């Protein structure tokens, strides 16, 4: 793997190149996506069918062909091998238990003069989940998106997933059954995002859209934001690892590759103050590469976007990692929790040598839909709050408005809003 050291004269330039990561050039696809959105808004299901024929290589015969039946979900679940069914159930239970702890509550605060202030928490009426599909299996994405919505209390969940050649993965169907999904459609890409944002004859308009996807999906989500709420704009996967002399270089190597095998645009970065750790890990990365069935993808990722940074000490390593703000951060040090207070920016933090990133992808419990490309500086993982909204509650007593009414009217008059001021002053008479 490429190594760079902070004492190099050109380190700043090399580090800035790493920060660019797998940047998605949305400008080049925005025109295409805008056309797709326009066609969906204008022609609804007919546009969907045309897009499916063009992109997924099959043509729905009628509107019903767009739907995924609950019978197919149930049959897929019942046909699962027992061990796989148990694993899916274990993941469901752990994810649900974790997200139940996130649920915010409504509250009221009673002031002595009779005023009441508070907050009312309400789930959105309808959530749209986009799940990558086709022959690949993404049941984990379905669980990670559906369960927070279920915990939030969303009454209607709509799932869209592509079905290339009209084929769906049985494990994804089984996960839909486990989550109790009643409305699901064989629609993918920007077409699916558009359909959920604006509604068609078959697919209802939703209030929030969540879920990962390619650059067309991400661009569509960005363009429909405001018409609906979205979770985030996610890019290629990434991992950052902080390691000291105690780290196992075999673990470090395979953990770097656990993200590199996602796609060529993924980023895998190790930061360590130890030259020995850097050298041994680099060697073992190439040893592991020879064993991977996705060797070509992982190799391209490591070559173009992977790096090992050698620092003068761990403080400098942490400073650089905070600047990277990785989607996944592993802390592979002797006392990982000692570093936790200094870590400011990361989507998910994996503490200690027995906590590989993939445990969070599937079964640990926290959500695996995470901010990428440095957006962990201001975005949080997908969670229950993505599927709820908060309303402020205000109730003034006669005494209460008398106590603060004049000041309110003064502020309103200062802003030139006479009716605002009058609405308060009339109640003070």
Point out the residues that are catalytic: 327-328
Q: Which of 357, 398, 45, 87 is nearest to 194 (CA)?
A: 45
Secondary structure tally for the chain: helices H, strands E: 17, 14
Q: Which residue has the tokens 């064989």?
A: 186
User: Is 96 buried (19+), middle (13-18) or exposed (0-12) by CB count in 10 A?
Assistant: middle
* Under 8 Å between Cβ of 142 and 131: yes
| 124: phi then psi, degrees, rounded to nearest 5 | -65, 155
Q: SS3 of 379, please?
A: coil
Interior/surface letters 50-60, b for 16+ CB within 10 angstroms, e for the rest: ebbeebbebeb
Annotate 277-287 with b (16+ C-beta within 10 A) or e (fewer): bbebbbebbee
Q: Which of 364, 326, 428 is nearest to 19 (CA)?
A: 326
> How long is the chain?
429
DSSP state of 312: S
Q: Taking Cα atoms as reference points, which of 250, 252, 266, 261 lies closest to residue 296? A: 261
Which has the closest alpha carbon to 353: 336, 378, 372?
336
d(CA 265, CA 21): 8
Chain-centroid distance of CA 68 in Å reads 24
Q: How far is CA 286 from the centre of its chain?
A: 30
Strand locations in 305-364, DSSP E?
A: 306-310, 328-332, 348-351
Q: 395: part of which helix (H) or strand (E)?
A: strand 388-395
Q: Which helix (H) or strand (E) holds 303?
A: helix 295-305
Q: How far apart are CA 276 and CA 259, in angstroms?
A: 23
d(CA 93, CA 147): 9
């Amino acid at each position: 793997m490429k190594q760079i050291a902070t004492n190099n004269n050109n380190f700043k330039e090399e580090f800035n190149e790493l920060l660019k990561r797998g940047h998605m050039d949305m400008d080049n696809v925005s025109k295409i996506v805008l056309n797709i959105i326009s066609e969906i808004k204008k022609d609804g299901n007919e546009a969907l069918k045309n897009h499916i024929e063009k992109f997924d290589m099959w043509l729905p015969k009628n509107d019903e062909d767009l739907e995924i039946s609950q019978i197919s979900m149930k049959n897929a679940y019942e046909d699962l091998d027992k061990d796989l069914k148990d694993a899916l159930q274990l993941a469901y239970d752990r994810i649900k238990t974790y997200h139940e702890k996130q649920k915010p509550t409504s509250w009221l605060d009673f002031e002595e003069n009779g005023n009441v202030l508070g907050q009312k928490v309400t789930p959105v009426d309808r959530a749209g989940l986009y799940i990558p599909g086709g022959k690949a299996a993404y049941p984990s994405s379905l669980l990670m998106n559906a369960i927070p919505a279920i915990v939030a209390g969303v009454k209607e969940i709509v799932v869209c997933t592509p079905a290339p050649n009209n084929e769906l993965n049985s494990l994804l169907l089984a996960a839909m059954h486990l989550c109790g999904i009643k409305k699901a459609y064989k629609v993918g890409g920007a077409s699916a995002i558009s359909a959920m944002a604006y509604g068609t004859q078959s697919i209802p308009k939703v209030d929030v859209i969540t879920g990962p996807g390619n650059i067309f999906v991400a661009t569509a989500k960005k363009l429909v934001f405001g018409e609906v709420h979205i979770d985030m704009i996610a890019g290629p996967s990434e991992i950052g690892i902080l390691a000291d002399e105690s780290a196992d270089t075999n673990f470090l190597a395979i953990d770097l590759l656990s993200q590199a095998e996602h796609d060529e645009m993924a980023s895998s970065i190790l930061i360590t103050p130890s030259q020995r750790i850097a050298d041994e890990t680099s060697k073992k990365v190439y040893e592991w590469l020879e064993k991977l069935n996705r060797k070509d993808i992982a190799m391209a990722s490591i070559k173009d976007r992977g790096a090992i940074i050698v620092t003068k000490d761990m403080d400098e390593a942490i400073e650089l990692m905070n600047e990277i703000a990785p989607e996944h951060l592993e802390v592979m040090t002797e006392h990982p929790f000692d570093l936790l207070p200094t870590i400011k920016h990361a989507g998910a933090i994996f503490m200690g040598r027995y906590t590989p990133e993939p445990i969070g992808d599937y079964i640990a419990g926290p959500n695996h839909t995470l901010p990428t490309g440095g957006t962990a500086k201001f975005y949080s993982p997908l969670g229950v709050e993505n599927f709820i909204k908060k309303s402020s509650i205000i109730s003034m007593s006669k005494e209460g408005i008398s106590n603060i009414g004049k000041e309110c009217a003064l502020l309103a008059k200062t802003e030139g809003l006479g009716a605002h001021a009058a609405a308060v002053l009339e109640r003070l008479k």
